[in-house]
Amino acid sequence: MTSIADPIAGTPGDTKPALAGHDAVKVASSAPAIVFPAIGERELRLDLFRGLALWLIFIDHLPPNILTWFTIRNYGFSDATEIFIFISGYTAAFVYGRAMLQAGFVVATARILRRVWQIYVAHVFLFTIFLAEISYVATSFENPLYSEEMGIMDFLKQPDVTIVQALLLRFRPVNMDVLPLYIVLMLFLPIILWLMKWRADVTLALSALLYAVTWHFDLYLTAYPNGVWFFNPLAWQLLFVFGAWCAMGGAARMSRLLSSPLTMWICLAYLFASFCVTMTWYVPQLGRLMPRIIEQWMYPIDKTDLDVLRFAHFLALAAITVRFLPRDWPGLKSPWLRPLILCGQHSLEIFCLGVFLAFAGHFVLAEVSGGAAMHLLVSVSGILIMWGMAWVISWYKHSADKGASKTKSIPGNADLAGGGA
């Protein structure tokens, strides 16, 4: 397996020469709003921020510690989840959008479903290993609070029913909500891409309409044994679709808006306002400065249904990032950022490893020491392990590709988007 939303790559038909003359004009006119980068070209900014999101998610899953104050959730309304879902939609549209344009709806759908199956299998394996890890720790140290805190008490009481519910994605222990959300979003990707091939702006408008209807009628997916999905796919689909829309021409059409000084100052003002609000959560004395009418209008800032304040905060962050971090920024080739980029390029494996490491760190902090030094050691150790795993995976893939290029006339794996070997 490779990353959750893999490299911007071609399809099996990418080895034929490019169209020229009248045929090229005809193809270009059939989809004027959809522009893809050159085959084999990689957007390192996506890998960088996806890797950053994975590190931030790992740190946020640990008990609060020193490094927690370096995560973005403490300084605004959104957090690493928004970054992860947006980039997943963006890169998935790049990969499978190209396949849909070149190979057609049926072939692209088959590749998407193949990828969904890979992610689903990864989720099942992670669920099994995660349960085994928690059960072993709870039994060995005679502390049932681990089972209760990580949300697996229902599994221990009714394992037969709970396993079926887990396979249906309705039962999930703590920290295992992102992959089910991504699986559901990817299942609808063929329809999203097909609609965007027809009218990208209309597709985004329909996504926004579904988001508004979800909020108005309080639509949700139920979870087992009670409650709802922590990340409501009916709401979070807006961020995923928006990422796909940006990938398929939307970002290019917004370039003039994003480069406007007025847009920059609006975004900076919103980010500063959200920073001031979040500071009231940690410094109660500042809360007295918040007008009561604004508090009543603003709270609660719902994460489950992707509150519009969270969505707007992410948009402001993204606009500022795009403005001040160009695609050809030399720092993207810096060895200091290489660990983040490597983790972003293998996000499925690193995300699963991060969930496992987060509970291991939780156990160490509870049983060994909960001091600041141990918090820092656990956090840094987890990040180094994730980096090491990403390096090993990258080295193995590079070695395998070199070996394959010696035996095949077409180098590398054509279907990088599917994550196949």
pLDDT tens digit sequence for 292-329: 898 889 999 999 999 999 999 999 999 999 999 998 89
Mean pLDDT across the chain, nearest whole number? 85
- Between residues 81 and 152, which one has the greater pLDDT? 81
* Structural domain for 45, as ranges: 35-402
Mean pLDDT, rounded, for 267-274 = 97
CA distance 356 to 375: 17
pTM over 0.95: no
- CA atoms in the 13 A half-sphere facing the CB of 46: 25
Q: State the sign of the Cα–Cα–Cα–Cα dihedral 334, 335, 339, 345.
A: positive
Mean pLDDT, rounded, for 232-256 = 95
Residue 126 located in a structural domain: yes
Q: What are phi and psi of 97, to 5 degrees?
A: -65, -40
Q: Which among 253, 254, 242 is positioned nearest to 206, based on CA atoms?
A: 242
Decide if pLDDT at 11 tops 50. no
CA distance 243 to 237: 10
What is the reported pLDDT for 20? Answer: 43
Residues 6+ apart with CB under 8 A from 205: none
Decide if pLDDT at 370 tops 90. no
Helix, strand or coil, per DSSP, at residue 228 = strand
For the chain, the straight-line distance linking the first and the last C-alpha, in angstroms and rounded, comes to 7
pLDDT in tens, 51-91: 999 999 999 998 887 888 889 999 999 999 999 999 999 99
What is the reported pLDDT for 115? Answer: 96
Decide if pLDDT at 401 tops 50. yes
Decide if pLDDT at 233 tops 50. yes
pLDDT in tens, 86-115: 999 999 999 999 899 889 999 999 999 999
Are 354 and 58 in contact by the 8 Å Cβ rule? The answer is: yes
What is the reported pLDDT for 184? Answer: 97
Residue 231 located in a structural domain: yes
Q: What are phi and psi of 263, to 5 degrees?
A: -60, -45
Residue 382 located in a structural domain: yes
What is the reported pLDDT for 235? Answer: 98
Residue 362 located in a structural domain: yes
CA distance 103 to 96: 10
Helix (H) or strand (E) holding 213: helix 189-217
Residue 420 located in a structural domain: no
What is the reported pLDDT for 69? Answer: 87
What is the reported pLDDT for 415? Answer: 35
Report the amino acid identity of residue 354. G
Residue 416 located in a structural domain: no
Helix axes 338-345, 347-367, angle to 10 degrees: 110
- Count up the domains in the chain and report the number: 1
Mean pLDDT, rounded, for 176-199 = 95
Place of tokens 């918040």: 290
Q: Which among 110, 88, 101 is positioned nearest to 244, based on CA atoms?
A: 88
What is the reported pLDDT for 118? Answer: 95
What is the reported pLDDT for 117? Answer: 97
Lookup: tokens for 224:
């087992």
Q: Which among 31, 33, 83, 78 is positioned nearest to 54, based on CA atoms?
A: 83
Mean pLDDT, rounded, for 18-29 = 41
Helix, strand or coil, per DSSP, at residue 358 = helix
Residue 3 located in a structural domain: no
| Chain centroid to CA 327 | 20
Are 376 and 65 in contact by the 8 Å Cβ rule? The answer is: yes
Residue 12 located in a structural domain: no
Are 131 and 173 in contact by the 8 Å Cβ rule? The answer is: yes
